[in-house]
Structure 1
Amino acid sequence: MLQARLKSGKYIIPALYPKSELLQLRAGEESFYCPVCDEKVILRVGEKVVAHFAHTANVNCPSRGGGEGAYHEQGKLQLYEWLLRQGLSVELEAYMPEINQRPDILLHHGERRIVLEYQCSRISNEEIIERTNGYKEIGVPVIWILGEILLKRKGKQALRIDSFTRTLIHQFTSAYPLSLFYYCPFTCDLIKFQDFTFTNKNRALGKLTVKRLETMTFPELLAKEFLPDYHFITIWKREKKYFRLRRWGKLFGEERKWHHWLYRKGLHFEKLPSFVHLPVSGAYRMKLPGWIWQSWILFEVIAPRPIGSIITTKACNYLVQHYLFPCEYFPLIKSPAQPVREYLTLLCSAGLLRRTNTDTFEKLTDIDLPERLELAIIEDGDFITELFQNK
């Protein structure tokens, strides 16, 4: 822990003091106490770690556990000092007895409280959900900032988002872009990844912003940033072309099953219609890449039915229900998306369907397949431009 209580009741954060002063303090008769359990703690001062306090081995305190080392302690302290320099009322490692949790940073904004959690190691999704819901129970919003060591870049504007990171996607309101936050205590860079869409199961394209911490304010951390339409169109044209020309190699799992399904349907991925593999913002809820679940919907539900038929969200959801992450998996998203409904809405913009109600659609035309790969690539480019020029 980064702070403790003195006999006088005053709190001390040793990382804010010179080393010589800390050594003198430790050599004296002063005692230090845990703010949570009131047991004595030990002041540790070293060359390679941030000065901090530690419990003795036989103490059972609710605040123990979850330590993530010097990287975590240094980053947490820097974020705390950053907020202090802005004149904000902020507490470090404040214990919240009503839910038995001790957030890294507690920010007071008028009568409101906001929690900042700086997470630098992988923990279970269940723990993230439990801790986030604990704050929700007492009406305290939480912002999770990941250590930059957990950031996995897959291109200039792309990140790998695995099942752990997926649970930490933020969306404060329906108008707020999907967001992830990262911080590196070595470079002092604050990284935001916003307005992203998944291109496959674990890779997402979006607006990646890197700024020095001292150049930002707390409101700027939460400011909305969007990928410009022209950039979005360019990268998705490239993504569609890559999909057409992809060399699959040895296939496993769901990809192998999907290729067998294509074979049985008399289809080939190179000549699928442009309706397949479209960017859907709610795809973060899918355990499958878009080309699989979207082609299922097209060729199992829509294509076999005559023009004028009614297509329902329920019928399409039935196909993919076992491949959807439950809404509870996303505690930081106020209203988790409905990716199937989003996809059907896109098909309305593309002229294939017409919405007749919230979850019912009328089929307007049949689905044509491109005759040659070269034509398919050209059609994809025109299709993406027309569909998303006013994203």
Structure 2
Amino acid sequence: MLVAYTEKNEPFVLNSSMPQTTLYQLRKSKKFYCPLCKQQLLFKIGSLKIPHFAHYSKSSCEAQFSDRESEMHLKGKEQLYSLFNALKLEAQLEPYLPSIQQRPDILFKLKGNDDQRIAVEFQCSPISLEKLLERNNGYKREGISPIWIPSTPNKIVKKGIQRISLNKNYQQFREVTHPSYIMTYNPAVRQFFYISNLIYLHGNSFISKVQTISLTNQKFPFYIPKPITKNEFEQFWLIYQQVKHNYLQARVLFRRSGVNDILLRSAYELRMNLHSLPKYIGIPLKGSEELKVFSVDWQLALFYFIHTNKIELCHMKGQTIYYFLKWARMPETKIAYEVVSNYCTFLEKTSIQHSYQSIQDDKLLAILYNQFLAM
């Protein structure tokens, strides 16, 4: 923690820019106490972490005051606190809210609106969706708007359109913050990384446009990424097609389950070569991650389902879509239903009825780009 109380019950905020001599003199001359449990604290001045306070032993308030904070978390919240102060936002560092027993990293008020409070959480460790929603609900009960800023994933070090990996912990921030992007922060380089315009591939893989903005250039309200241009979407599409090609090649070479593999079985029954599939089989769609497989798997399976059951594409509606999801052993959820329904609508709009039809590349790209903007 970076905030403690002195013997005179005055709040004291540590600042890593303080000279070492000043810090050692403070530790020698003063005693500091926990704002919550009132116990005396250790004043740590080491080489591995920035100066911080910690409890002498395990205490009842350990959950609110994370004694084992990482260097990244300590640095990050100190830097964010300095940002909000520089923006004249009356920020508080590590305030305790007794009514909900929560302690945001930073709390501040909006200019000209004393009633509107914002809680900022710089999240460096994994957190369950249940805990995240519980914290959010606590803030909202107090009329506080929460903002979650996860630490930047280690492998994201540059900006531009690229393939990235986001584990489930990062993916859930889209559900509670911004569905179209994730704003992260890296205290080591003092930069915000915006992971936007996400297109799902498979597993934890996505294609994204990554943008950066320095701590000193950030404002509040925070910068919001703009939609990608058509030229940028063409870069997305090229990466997507290359990933799909490599994925299909690997499936043919290394998959041994044969007829038990829905992709290989679908291709076999439809007499289709996986290396020359029409480009409308395996396209990105909003919510595709709900199906937990690459789009080419379930979209080719859909044509096989239609072929096997001798039904027309226009009849892929209502309960029939749920029959398909069950048949393909995929999640039978509302989101999964909407993804499949949207794909069927896309096929109807492009006059595709059978898997042997074709479509011009420029027409397909234009439709996908307009759909992507709508996402």
The TM tier, using the shorter chain, reads 0.7 to 0.9
Distance change (3 Å), C-alpha of 1:198 and 1:389: closer
Find the counterpart in structure 2 of residue 208 from structure 1.
210
Q: Residues 106 and 119 of structure 2 are in contact (CA less than 8 Å); yes or no, is this contact kept in structure 1?
A: yes
Match status 1:288 vs 2:293 = yes
Q: Residues 316 and 344 of structure 2 are in contact (CA less than 8 Å); yes or no, is this contact kept in structure 1?
A: no
Match status 1:36 vs 2:36 = yes
Q: Secondary structure at the match of 2:232?
A: helix
Q: Secondary structure at the match of 1:344?
A: helix
Q: Which has the higher contact order (CA 8 A, sep 6+)?
A: 1
Distance change (3 Å), C-alpha of 1:139 and 1:25: same
1:53-103 residue CA offsets vs partner (Å, 9 max, x unmatched): 101114221424473321210111001101110001211111122332222
Find the counterpart in structure 2 of residue 189 from structure 1.
191
* Structure 1 position 317, deviation (Å): 4.0
Find the counterpart in structure 2 of residue 98 from structure 1.
99
Q: Secondary structure at the match of 2:92?
A: strand
Distance change (3 Å), C-alpha of 1:80 and 1:237: same
Aligned pair partner of 2:118 in 107, 114, 120? 114
Structure 2 unaligned regions, length at least 5: none
The residue type paired with residue 310 of structure 1 is H
Q: Residues 119 and 146 of structure 1 are in contact (CA less than 8 Å); yes or no, is this contact kept in structure 2?
A: yes
Distance change (3 Å), C-alpha of 1:106 and 1:315: farther
CA distance in 1, matches of 2:51, 2:157: 32
Distance change (3 Å), C-alpha of 1:171 and 1:125: closer
Structure 1 unaligned regions, length at least 5: 327-336, 354-363, 371-375
CA distance in 2, matches of 1:281, 1:254: 30
Q: Secondary structure at the match of 1:294?
A: helix
Q: Secondary structure at the match of 2:144?
A: coil
Find the counterpart in structure 2 of residue 315 from structure 1.
320
* Structure 1 position 270, deviation (Å): 2.8
The residue type paired with residue 10 of structure 1 is E
CA distance in 2, matches of 1:6, 1:144: 30
Q: After the TM superposition, which of the residue ranges 68-77 and 342-351 deviates more from structure 2?
A: 342-351
Find the counterpart in structure 2 of residue 8 from structure 1.
8
Spell out the pairing of 1:136-151 with structure 2 (5 A cutoff). Answer: 136-151=140-155
Report the TM-score, using the length of structure 2 for normalisation: 0.82
Q: Secondary structure at the match of 1:312?
A: coil
CA distance in 2, matches of 1:23, 1:386: 64
CA distance in 1, matches of 2:150, 2:320: 38
CA distance in 1, matches of 2:213, 2:90: 23
Distance change (3 Å), C-alpha of 1:365 and 1:137: same
The residue type paired with residue 2 of structure 2 is L
Distance change (3 Å), C-alpha of 1:73 and 1:123: same
Q: Residues 233 and 388 of structure 1 are in contact (CA less than 8 Å); yes or no, is this contact kept in structure 2?
A: no
Report the TM-score, using the length of structure 1 for normalisation: 0.79
Q: Residues 3 and 11 of structure 1 are in contact (CA less than 8 Å); yes or no, is this contact kept in structure 2?
A: yes
Find the counterpart in structure 2 of residue 360 from structure 1.
none
Find the counterpart in structure 2 of residue 388 from structure 1.
368
Distance change (3 Å), C-alpha of 1:200 and 1:380: farther
Aligned pair partner of 2:201 in 189, 194, 199? 199
Q: Which portions of structure 1, spanning 4 or more consecutive aligned residues, are displaced by more than 6 angstroms?
A: 252-256
Spell out the pairing of 1:244-259 with structure 2 (5 A cutoff). Answer: 244=245, 246-248=248-250, 249-251=253-255, 257-259=261-263
Cα RMSD for the two superposed structures: 3.3
The residue type paired with residue 298 of structure 2 is W
CA distance in 1, matches of 2:325, 2:368: 25
Spell out the pairing of 1:325-344 with structure 2 (5 A cutoff). Answer: 338=335, 340-344=337-341
Distance change (3 Å), C-alpha of 1:66 and 1:18: closer
Find the counterpart in structure 2 of residue 179 from structure 1.
181
CA distance in 2, matches of 1:136, 1:278: 38
CA distance in 1, matches of 2:239, 2:297: 19
Q: Residues 249 and 275 of structure 2 are in contact (CA less than 8 Å); yes or no, is this contact kept in structure 1?
A: no
The residue type paired with residue 283 of structure 2 is L
The residue type paired with residue 228 of structure 1 is T
* Structure 1 position 125, deviation (Å): 4.3
Find the counterpart in structure 1 of residue 266 from structure 2.
262
Match status 1:369 vs 2:356 = yes
* Structure 1 position 277, deviation (Å): 1.5
CA distance in 2, matches of 1:50, 1:255: 58
Distance change (3 Å), C-alpha of 1:106 and 1:231: same
CA distance in 2, matches of 1:254, 1:15: 62
CA distance in 2, matches of 1:339, 1:226: 25
Distance change (3 Å), C-alpha of 1:238 and 1:65: closer
1:204-242 residue CA offsets vs partner (Å, 9 max, x unmatched): 123210121111212233x24222223113421442354
* Structure 1 position 123, deviation (Å): 3.9
* Structure 1 position 131, deviation (Å): 3.0
Q: After the TM superposition, which of the residue ranges 92-101 and 60-69 deviates more from structure 2?
A: 60-69
CA distance in 2, matches of 1:317, 1:152: 38
CA distance in 1, matches of 2:50, 2:67: 16
